Amino acid sequence: MSLARDFVITIGDALRLSSDLMRYKMAAQTQVIKRGLGRVAMCFVACMASLVLAAVGFGFILYGAFVLIAKAIRSAGAAGLIIGLVVLLIAVIVAVAGRSLITRP
């Protein structure tokens, strides 16, 4: 009887240790995932901030080009059309290049 009791106690201890080990592994994996998501979130925020700054910079460049073209041809309307068409052309080129990158096998 004592041997059977010791065997049951040993099995119970092994199951408890296995459960504790599994909990520890899950906690460690949870921490790794949280750290990874934190890094991804920080990278996303930094990328969005740089995108906003790049857009503002591009806007100032466009405004400067508009002012120069408007002074050169003495027509603000025509200068706006020229700048708009150039930006539209660049947007189409980027869209076509992006599409070809997506459909590439």
Share of the chain above pLDDT 70, in %: 98
Per-residue pLDDT tens digits for 60-95? 999 999 999 999 998 888 898 999 999 999 999 988
pLDDT of 15 above 90: no
Q: Where are the domains of the chain?
A: 2-103
* Planar angle of CA 87, 91, 97, nearest 5 degrees: 145
pLDDT of 53 above 90: yes
- Rounded to two decimals, what is the model's pTM? 0.60
Q: Would you state the pLDDT for residue 89?
A: 92
Q: Which residue has the higher pLDDT, 105 or 99?
A: 99
Q: Which residue has the higher pLDDT, 4 or 54?
A: 54
> How far apart (Å, rounded) are the C-alpha atoms in residues 48 and 29?
28
Mean per-residue pLDDT of the chain = 88
> How far apart (Å, rounded) are the C-alpha atoms in residues 23 and 55?
47
Q: Would you state the pLDDT for residue 1?
A: 59
> How far apart (Å, rounded) are the C-alpha atoms in residues 65 and 86?
11
Share of the chain above pLDDT 90, in %: 47
